[in-house]
Structure 1
Amino acid sequence: MALDKTNGVISGNDCFVWLNGELLEDIKSFEWKVSLDFADVNYLGDHRTYKKFQGYTGEGTLTFNKVQSRGIKLLRDAIKSGIMPDVVITTKMGNKATGKAERAVITGITFSEFGANSEAKSIAEESIPFSFADIDFPEVM
């Protein structure tokens, strides 16, 4: 029997994030992306521009419902000592209907800022942007 198209779509409710092995139960959203870096390559007599792969840059953001002081706890000692923490972020996006999952393990993380925001009649949030040097995919769909 064919799988219903809607059952094959992943929901954010089936996504999980761990920070140094701790499941983040207060996380609201998580984003990561890899941007590929290319240099232009040109030749005399050729009007086209070619691209040479030079590497990549990884960036992301952890956004929490404000339940605790995550950014402060993570970085308060680092901003005083200058020694940044070693952090590993692991993600899992799964689909119960298909049994398929995607996992990412992100390392070489550098946090660029932390803080919080609040607004009248809304839920307070805390966003922690970061960049990363490496990502591995132990499981893909």
Structure 2
Amino acid sequence: MRDNYTPDRVINGTFGECWIDNDYMAETTALEATVKLDTTEVARTGTLEKGYKVTGITCSGTLKLNKVTSYMIKKIGDNLKKGKATRATIISNIEDPEAFGAERIRFDDVVFTEIKLADWEAGKLLEESIPFSFSGWEVLESIDV
């Protein structure tokens, strides 16, 4: 990392973009994806410290959208009625023009784990939060300085 970065180089989330199965999701307001390391405690002798071994990973995230269409209800609901999970590919891109570059990540084997059929309140703009799990990812473009 450069020791002389300036504040304008910090990435602004406003420039984030999202695609689901090649459909550009202009209504996306946030995308979060996390890989959590599953650990198992390992007993050790000669020390009071506990040891841990990584025994798996859990990949999950949440997609937030301004409610504009019924895209997600139809995409997930139509498959659920057939007894199938909806599997998809999500691509995240963040490319602030003042930053050092772009970061683009593809999430593979995405399974949407929840869909709200209705969630509204008078006087409020509608938003959807769709949790998902995934089983692989690839960094397609990274910010390297």
Kindly indicate which of the two structures has a greater share of residues assigned to strand: 1
Structure 2, unaligned runs of 5 or more? none
For 2:139, the equivalent position in structure 1 comes to 137
Normalized against structure 2, the TM-score is what? 0.87
Kept in 1, the 8 Å contact 2:9–2:100? The answer is: no
Aligned partner of 1:12: which letter?
G
Give 1:3 deviation, angstroms. 7.3
Give the direction of change, closer, same or farther, for the CA distance of 1:89–1:24 in structure 2 (3 Å limit).
same
Kept in 1, the 8 Å contact 2:33–2:62? The answer is: yes
Aligned partner of 1:16: which letter?
E
Hey, what's the Cα distance between the residues in 2 that align with 1:8 and 1:44?
Answer: 48
For 2:121, the equivalent position in structure 1 comes to 119
Hey, what's the Cα distance between the residues in 2 that align with 1:42 and 1:4?
Answer: 44
Hey, what's the Cα distance between the residues in 2 that align with 1:20 and 1:99?
Answer: 28
Matches within 5 A, 1:1-141: 5-115=6-116, 116-141=118-143
Aligned partner of 1:120: which letter?
A
Task: Give the total of aligned pairs.
Answer: 140
Give 1:103 deviation, angstroms. 1.1
Q: In percent, how many aligned pairs have the same letter? A: 31
Aligned partner of 1:14: which letter?
F
Let me know the Cα RMSD of the aligned residues: 1.9
Structure 1, unaligned runs of 5 or more? none
Give 1:131 deviation, angstroms. 0.9
Hey, what's the Cα distance between the residues in 2 that align with 1:28 and 1:98?
Answer: 19
Hey, what's the Cα distance between the residues in 1 that align with 2:45 and 2:51?
Answer: 12
Normalized against structure 1, the TM-score is what? 0.89
